[in-house]
Amino acid sequence: MRDSYILYHKMAYNIPMKKKKDIDDRYPILNEEDYKKIADKKGLSENDKKVYVKFMQKRFAGERHTPYAEEWAERFKKGEPESHMDSESLEVYKIVKEKPHFISEPYGLTQELQEKDKFREEKKPKRVPKTKEVFVVQGNYGQGWEDVTEEDNYFEAKKRLKEYNENESYPHRRITRRVKI
């Protein structure tokens, strides 16, 4: 309620609103030096510091939120960062931790992740439909609605309905039904 009031007030009295760009300029993107400072501040060992810095650079590229980076530093300091990770973060962490030669290569880590993603996409099978949509023309001859004809195409069913309505005095309708293949 308050936010909408403020927005209305700013619009009504021509008060310039801050743009997203202005807000983003206040919080610059964290780089390697920033992550190192955070790691030093939290007291990480040299090995943990290297893994933490590379993990944050690869997993959270473009991060602007320093408290979030500090939270991750605390997790690394406790020695169990894996317990707080989703599957994507866990993949990055395993690669950074198990393959130290990727730490020195600037783009090796992202290329390996891209290859894994391509393999994962190729592995997915195509979804096979179990049902299909059919269009049924029904007529009511005094004992409820009965199926008169069934078409696979909407426009064909529409034509059949028009023909039945022109040639018979009983009411007719078109319905859609899903049928197992």
- Over the stretch 76-87, which tens digit does the pLDDT of each residue have? 888 878 877 887
44 contacts 76 by C-beta, under 8 angstroms: yes
| Average pLDDT value over all residues in the chain | 77
Question: Cβ neighbours of residue 113 under 8 Å, at least 6 residues apart?
Answer: 58, 91, 92, 95
pLDDT confidence of residue 119: 59
Same domain for 27 and 60, yes or no, is yes
> Do residues 162 and 82 both lie within one domain?
no
Which pLDDT score, from 0 to 100, does residue 13 have? 52
Give residue 25's pLDDT: 55
Q: Would the pTM of this model clear 0.85, i.e. be above it? A: no
What is the pLDDT at residue 143?
94
- Do residues 28 and 64 share a domain? yes
- The boundaries of the domain holding residue 10 are 2-123
Domain endpoint, select from 106, 123, 140: 123
43 and 117 share a domain?
yes
pLDDT of 116 > 70? The answer is no
Structure tokens at 131: 């049902």
Q: What average pLDDT does this structure show over 100-122?
A: 54
Report which secondary-structure segment, H or E, holds 139. strand 131-140
